[in-house]
Chain A
């Protein structure tokens, strides 16, 4: 499954271009599919990161362990700060769109253990800063609801093969699965423009990944095809996702674990732990069609 931007003199005619839209699954079709195939309980489940991780672990899907789950201010007072270690990620348990995540990449050596850390950009954060942030998380600031919990996880360190392809941030592999069958895959590579975020509409590069081999076959930034990373100049075409079989296996367990039949699995590859499911999406986006050059309509509703 590869995609090739055609040379200008061989562009398909208008009629065949129009016909090509028949393969595209639009927002309306997707929403219909989700309403039919993704039960309400499952959608609720994947909105809760901690509950999702429990469900994933139950079917043997790899995911980051939980360092601490802070459900209340009382929990926050009783938190074992030294037990967090030198690097961690603090996430709103029911966060929306990746907002409100605080990352500590190393311990501040001048402070006692569990007293202060540094973020990826080198900014110093003290325990008081973290408490402050956690209070906001508990108040549902990033979750669109009145209350939430704060989740501490060990910091994921990207596999060097993937780190090489990205500009800062955490690149991941989005695998779209129907039931437990992976149908399309792409890598999402943060750029300077995306501010380290792996969201395509914020400027991250989308790289089509061949399902059979785990090899990058094409890359897009928005509507612009490219072969090299726009910030680092590293060639993307031909790059391979490390432990591809492990990534596909992790992704294909997300449906059975959560009860979702149309599911987007975000898998990261940690340099020590290997593939880990970062997030399970009950409403995965449609941009993967542009990136991979494959329409979802044909995959979902095979021609009779």
Chain B
């Protein structure tokens, strides 16, 4: 087998302009590129918070924190937003704590999912997202329900409710919470539609991290999948569970090695172990409130593959490399989580998904044409830069 022609085209193609001494050096270029990338990230993550005061455009989710006020003060409770109910209702314990006089209150007959019921009616204040409005609550025993308050149509005039999502509005605050705050809360913060819309952006970030910064993770897109899990489970819980799963996987390694299982069986056992851990954790924390979907949200298969990769790195390059790679992977996952939860990202992805996706695709392609040094290569070749070659 011999090589075909094309021997003299060695120096062909696009040569960089070497003649100009003012050209930015390769090291300078990568620093500028990384700085631009970091600036863009920061712009998204720390983007100005969107206004969610109760103007006609206010958007809330199906579960939000509200402040209810009565004669003796006010209290913040988690409320279910239910446009299928005509009026709002609160738990009788809260009503008593707030000083409402239940014995002399007028009553109404309410038909609820539990049947017909005579309920006292009280008048207080309701603070939802923006300003406070007077509201009428029926009082009933809600201790068996998922939330202590339910807000019905009568008190939802002018707002839009997005089903299946928590906007995490804070009573009294004029703005939506920042990405960091959203991240630290529990419960799904992004609906499936929004997740789909921010996926291209997450992929673009992975391209930039790889090509410009030089970050290598356990699995090319595994941080994105982890990040999407974290948007559903909340960061604290998600990270703790991921670490527990990685530790369990590493601990199981000697046993699995002993039986010399083929890869597909090893992965299956790992998937089973990871699932088992999730089930136990879910059981232990009690399937309460918003947390009912996080078990399914964490990427089980991807976690198993990450564990397998971790073993390989451990074997080939030692425990230190393995721990570093795992830490880098988790750090990138957190970064991506922050980015997709940032108010600006969500606004763009939800209001203009098509142009947004197209822009991300184009940017990813453009980033892929970067042929210069990666940021980590400035470190890798630092000893080279200190030497002089004599040829």
Contact = CB atoms under 8 A, between A and B. Distances in A.
A179 B9 CA distance: 11
A136 B266 CA distance: 14
A22 B316 contact: no
B3 A256 contact: yes
Nearest to A32: B371
Contacts of A294: 389, 391
Interface in B260-279: 260, 262-263
B11 interface: yes
A2 B390 CA distance: 6
A4 B387 contact: yes
A141 B263 contact: yes
A303 B373 contact: no
Given A4-B390, A202-B317, A18 B25 contact: yes
Contact of B2 (A18, A256, A301): A256
B2 to A, nearest CB: 6
A251 B179 CA distance: 56
B103 interface: no
Nearest to A258: B1
Interface in A60-104: 97, 99
- B interface, how many residues as a size bin? 35 or more
B209 to A, nearest CB: 13
Given A21-B381, A202-B317, A28 B371 contact: yes
A59 B373 CA distance: 37
A304 interface: yes
B388 A290 contact: no
Contacts of A32: 371
Contact of B386 (A17, A24, A136, A259): A17
B36 to A, nearest CB: 16
Interface stretch (B13-21, B141-149, B159-167, B289-297): B13-21
- What does DSSP make chain A's interface, helix, strand, loop or mixed? mixed
Contact of B373 (A17, A24, A99, A255): A24
Nearest to B382: A223
Interface string A27-41: 111001000100000
Contacts of A141: 262-263
A130 B210 CA distance: 41
Nearest to B216: A27
Given A26-B374, A28-B371, A304-B15, A259 B1 contact: yes
B208 to A, nearest CB: 12
Interface residues of A, number: 53
Interface stretch (A5-13, A117-125, A272-280): A5-13
A286 B25 CA distance: 19
B26 A21 contact: yes
Interface centre among B18, B260, B371 (most CB of A within 10 A): B371
A28 B370 contact: yes
B378 interface: yes
Contact of B384 (A19, A202, A290): A290
A26 B373 contact: yes
Given A18-B25, A202-B316, A302-B11, A24 B390 contact: no
A6 B262 contact: no
Contact of B372 (A28, A58, A223, A295): A28
Contact of B383 (A23, A259, A286, A290): A290
B263 to A, nearest CB: 7
Interface centre among A19, A36, A286 (most CB of B within 10 A): A19
Contact of B385 (A21, A202, A261): A21
Contacts of A6: 386-388
A125 to B, nearest CB: 16
Interface in B108-149: none
B56 interface: no
A295 B388 CA distance: 11
Interface centre among A11, A24, A302 (most CB of B within 10 A): A24
Contact of B387 (A3, A22, A28, A97): A3
Contacts of A282: none
Contacts of B374: 26-28
B383 to A, nearest CB: 4
A47 interface: no
A3 to B, nearest CB: 5
Contacts of B260: 136
Nearest to A2: B390
A18 B214 contact: no
B283 interface: no
A100 to B, nearest CB: 11
Interface string B281-315: 00000000000000000000000000000000000
Given A21-B378, A28-B371, A301 B389 contact: no
Contacts of A261: 3
Interface in A263-304: 286, 289-290, 293-295, 301-304
A83 to B, nearest CB: 28
Contacts of A20: 384-385
A55 interface: yes
Given A1-B389, A17-B385, A21-B373, 8 more contacts: A1-B390, A6-B386, A27-B214, A27-B374, A28-B370, A28-B372, A304-B11, A304-B18
30 contacts: A2-B389, A2-B390, A5-B387, A6-B386, A6-B388, A19-B25, A21-B26, A23-B389, A24-B373, A26-B374, A29-B372, A29-B373, A32-B371, A141-B262, A179-B3, A179-B10, A201-B317, A223-B382, A223-B383, A225-B383, A256-B2, A259-B1, A259-B3, A261-B3, A290-B383, A293-B389, A294-B391, A301-B15, A304-B11, A304-B19
User: Ordered nearest first, which 10 A-B pairs have the shortest CB separation?
Assistant: A21-B27, A26-B373, A17-B385, A20-B385, A223-B383, A18-B27, A21-B26, A293-B389, A22-B26, A293-B387
